[in-house]
Amino acid sequence: MDSEEKKSDSGDRRDFVGKCAAGAFVGAVGLAAAGSLCGLKPSVLPDPSEQFKIGSGQDFPVGSVKVFEKENVAVFSEPDGLYAISLVCTHLGCIVSLNAKEGQFDCPCHGSRFTLKGKVTRAPAPKPLPWFKITAQPSGALMVDKGISVESGTKVVV
Amino acid sequence: MSDPNNKPGLLQVLENLKNLPANAKASFSRRGPADGSRRTRAQTVFNNVFMHIHTVRIHRWSLKPTFTFGLGVASAASFIILAVTGIALMIYYEPSTTGAYESVKNITFVVPGGRLIRNVHRWAAYMMVVTVFLHMIRVFYTNSYKKPREFNWVLGVILFVLTLALSFTGYCLPWDQLAYWAITIGANIAGSPVEVTDALGVTHLVDVGAMQKELMLGSKFVGGPALLRFYWAHCILLPVAMIVLILAHVWRVRKDGGLSRPSDITDEDLKGTPIEELAEEAFSEKSRKSYGLMCVVRNKTAAVDRGPERTVMSWPHLFNAEMLIFAVLLVVLLILGLLVDAPLKELANPSVPENPAKAPWYFLAMQEIISYSAFCGGMVMPGLTVVFLMGIPFLDREEGDSGRWFVGDGVKRTTIKTTIVSSIVIIGMLAFTVTFGWLRNWFPDINQIWITIVNPGTVLMSFFVVIAFAVIAKTRSTRLGMTVLFTYFLVSFVILTYFALVHRGPNWDFYWWPSLWPTH
């Protein structure tokens, strides 16, 4: 009985050392692998600047709408100011088209609909189209920054 | 060292040169001259690294065409054809946003034979999706995932997912309009957890969606880095994973005792399969060493229990069958490739999506549920489906006969009933959604989380989970419960694919027929 217990005891001890060794091995390889995986995420993204010029105040008479196709942004001019709205559908990133007749944005991919203010009127889009920040340069040129979204309803008076 | 048997001088060299062909052949095949005896035929199989993944003898049931329809072999054959044509295409393909489209155009119009190779690659990809899918159906309805084959079923499900992943990554490479918008949608599905984090208001703390999307694209937007990542996945990562898992899959088939077969095979059943006279030498007491090794397999082996009289030599019977499937498949793919060109739309244009922007047909069922909720339809439901498929052999542990189509009490009846009920329910749900819309139409300001949780997809899925539990409670048969869920999965896949293919038009609106789409 005694000797048997001893035996299993020493077995446990050997087991423990073995497990430590295996654990250290797995840990080292695992951490190395996890470290290498960081390489998948570049620390600087190769993306172009998200700011672009849209012209000056005179280019936007009240009631006009200008679509910037390359940037996928529409700029609306209303009596109380300008606003820039994203044309990228919040569902899966398709480009919504301005349906002037119905006064709405249509997404071709999964049928989302938005009002001209960006509010979702038909699923599946989960959230409204974002509004972007418009700033005036000292020269009078207007810039839109797609990296900064502002509260819907924030208009800029030029 | 000198050999006393050697002839003097150059004579021995000439003699060796004379014998070179025979010696080279013998060293190549690791056996003596092929005399057609069972021993050399067996050696042909187990002395070759590529062939010894087969058993030396195979049960005639496994060669029964109406049992397997050769679907597993057809899947592997498609993969081989894809690998060969894919390697050929890689010579000319250039994975950059400026070069990709041009190079695919060159492959199609300039490279001699390039168009055919590209077409066959495309058709083989479609073929592989179809055969892998049908193969899974065959294994399920013949009850062949049961012990000891559970793990091989799991490997099969992983192979199915890999097939779809390979297909998707390949679809993106030509960098035409189809490709660009497929990547865009795929990337936004990866980014769709933001739907939930936004609804909970925690996106600024943990933005899982953006992280996944960035990992996939190597950027915030779809562009060069994304194309390079897809190319890498399509040409190295996924094919290597595929090859390793195919080998494991086939090896497990053999180690788990060959293909499943019923316990009550009659001679009538085996009509039409190859037959051989029983050979004394193969089963004598003095069986050769390798036959001893053949017995190191689990469960019933070819020669145990059922007796050797229903097995035949793999060489040539199994190989004949495999070659036949391969040859027929190749001919079909060549004919398709000669007749129908793989599509190449105009160059990718990031400001104008296709309208409607449809995924390849095997993703259309998913696209339909994605049109309810991106996160739920694109990640949660496909994820649950894969987990469910992998779990089938562990949820249903009933020991029953396997190897025959719809074997087991009530399986056929349950399958037919489920097919009818699920067709009606799914079509009804689609009609309801098309006519009345869904939560967003009724409550425009509803929190997105409710739509993510309660949408036509989840409602249908929950309905059939409840039915499956009811069936299990009533019949006390998990096999029947799994039959309900698997059949529902198949029927919904088929109906949703058809619906999205034919009845979804511009803006994902419902149309009775594509010819009714508004023209621009």
Nearest chain A residue to B197, by CA: A126
pLDDT digit string, tens, across residues B469-491: 999 999 999 999 999 999 999 99
The nearest CA of chain A is from the CA of B440 a distance in Å of 6
**A-chain residue closest to B219, CA distance:** A45
Residue B192: its chain A contacts at CB < 8 A?
Answer: 92
> A115 by DSSP, 3-state: which?
strand
Provide the pLDDT for residue A41: 81
Q: Tell if the CB–CB gap between A72 and B350 is shorter than 8 Å.
A: yes
Relative to beta strand A65-68, strand A104-106 is unpaired
CB contact B224 to A (< 8 Å)? yes
A87 to chain B, minimum CA–CA distance in Å? 9
**Which phi and psi angles does A94 have, rounded to 5°?**
-75, 165
Give the span between the Cα atoms of B417 and B404, in whole angstroms: 20
Q: B168-216, pLDDT tens digit by residue?
A: 999 889 999 988 988 888 888 888 888 888 888 888 888 888 888 888 8
End-to-end CA distance of chain B: 88
Amino acid at B376: C
Higher pLDDT, B36 or B140: B140
Contact: B374, A124; criterion CB under 8 Å: yes
Interface of A with B in 52-111 (CB under 8 A): 69-70, 72, 91-95, 97, 106-111
Neighboring chain A residues of B214 at a CB cutoff of 8 Å:
41, 45
Q: What is the mean pLDDT of residues B297-320?
A: 67
Q: Do A121 and B448 touch (CB under 8 A)?
A: no
B450 in contact with A at a CB cutoff of 8 Å? Answer: no
Chain A's closest residue to B450, CA to CA, is: A126
Give the model confidence (pLDDT) of A4-57 as tens digits.
555 555 667 778 888 999 999 999 999 999 888 888 888 887 777 888 888 888
Angle value at C-alpha A22, between A21 and A25, nearest 5 degrees: 85
Residues 131-190 on B with a CB inside 8 Å of A are 181, 184-185, 187-189
Distance CA A90, CA A110 (A): 11
Inter-chain contacts counted by CB atoms under 8 A, chains A and B: 108
State CA B514 to chain mean position distance. 30
Helix (H) or strand (E) holding A56: strand A51-56
pLDDT at B182: 86
Return the pLDDT at B304.
Answer: 46
Q: Is there a contact between A108 and B374 if contact means CB atoms under 8 Å apart?
A: no
∠ CA A147-A152-A155 to the nearest 5 degrees? 90
Which SS3 state, helix, strand or coil, does residue A134 take? strand
CA–CA gap between residue B478 and residue B395 (Å, rounded):
7
Domains of chain A: which residue ranges? 2-40, 51-150
Q: How far is B83 from chain A (nearest CA, A)?
A: 26
Interface membership of B517 toward A (CB under 8 Å): no
The reported pLDDT for the residue numbered B45 is: 85
Of B198, B215, B372, the CB nearest to A124: B372
State how far Cα B461 lies from the chain centre.
23
Taking only the tens place, the pLDDT of each residue in B194-203 is 888 888 888 8
Give the span between the Cα atoms of B27 and B29, in whole angstroms: 6
Query: In the CATH scheme, what is the code of domain B55-262+292-353?
Result: 1.20.810.10
pLDDT at B302: 47
Please tell me if residue B371 touches chain A, with a CB cutoff of 8 Å.
Answer: yes
Residue B309 near chain A (CB below 8 Å):
no
Q: How far is CA B325 from CA A69, A111, B274, B416, B518, in A?
A: 52, 43, 16, 30, 44
Q: Give the model's pLDDT for residue A7.
A: 53
Q: Which residue of B has its CA nearest to A42?
A: B218
**Left, alpha or beta for B305 (phi > 0: left; psi -120 to 50: alpha)?**
left
**Rounded to an integer, what distance in angstroms lies between the CA atom of residue B141 and that of residue B446?**
43
Considering only the beta carbons, identify the residue of A40, A97, A110 that sits closest to B370: A110
What was the pLDDT predicted at B287?
Answer: 46
> What would the two tokens of residue B413 be?
């009846």
The average pLDDT across B162-166 equals 96
Contact list in B for residue A106 (CB cut-off 8 A) is 507
The single residue listed with the structure tokens 């739920």 is B376
CB contact under 8 A, A94 and B184: yes
Residues 6+ apart with CB under 8 A from A98: A65, A67, A74, A87, A105
Q: What rounded mean pLDDT belongs to chain B? A: 88
Q: Are strands A141-150 and A104-106 parallel, antiparallel or unpaired?
A: unpaired
Listed residue (A115, A119, A117) closest to A127, CA to CA: A119
Residue B303 banded pLDDT, cuts 50, 70, 90: very low
Mean pLDDT of A122-137: 87
For residue B372, the distance in angstroms to the closest alpha carbon of chain A comes to: 5
B331: amino acid identity, one letter: V
Q: Is A31 on the interface with B (CB under 8 A)?
A: no
- Hey, are the CB atoms on B507 and A107 less than 8 Å from each other? yes
Give residue A6's pLDDT.
52
Give the CA count within 13 Å in the CB-facing half-sphere of B167: 23
Instruction: Give me the amino acid identity at B324.
Output: L
Cβ atoms B54, B318 nearer than 8 A: yes
Residue B57, strand partner residues: B313
A150 φ/ψ angles, rounded to the nearest 5 degrees = -115, 165
The number of beta carbons lying within 10 Å of the beta carbon of residue A40 is 11
Encode pLDDT of B381-436 as tens digits.
999 999 999 999 999 999 888 889 999 889 999 999 999 999 999 999 999 998 98
B219 touches chain A (CB under 8 A): yes
Chain B residue with minimal CA distance to A98? B352
Model pLDDT, residue B519: 67
Residue B305 has pLDDT above 50, yes or no: no
Interface contact flag, B354 A46, Cβ < 8 Å: no
Q: Mutate which of B96, B97, B188, B380 to disrupt the A interface (most A C-beta within 10 Å)?
A: B188
Q: Which of B451, B440, B491, B457 is nearest to B368 (CA)?
A: B457
A120 vs B: CB within 8 A: yes
Q: Where are the domains of chain B?
A: 55-262+292-353, 355-520
Which amino acid is located at A103 in the chain? G
B511 and chain A in contact, CB less than 8 A: no
Average pLDDT over every residue of B213-233: 90
> How many CB atoms within 10 Å of residue B346?
11
Confidence (pLDDT) at B286: 46
pLDDT higher than threshold 50 for residue A106: yes
Test B372 with A106 for CB contact under 8 angstroms: no
CATH of A51-150 among 1.10.3210.10, 2.102.10.10, 3.10.20.600, 3.40.50.620? 2.102.10.10
Chain B: give the shortest CA distance to residue A84, in Å: 17
Chain A CB within 8 Å of residue B440 CB: yes
User: B195 and chain A: CB distance < 8 Å anywhere?
Assistant: yes
Q: Cβ of A119 and B370 within 8 Å? A: no
Average pLDDT of the segment spanning B319-325: 94
A63 to A130, A141, B393: CA distances (angstroms): 20, 20, 64
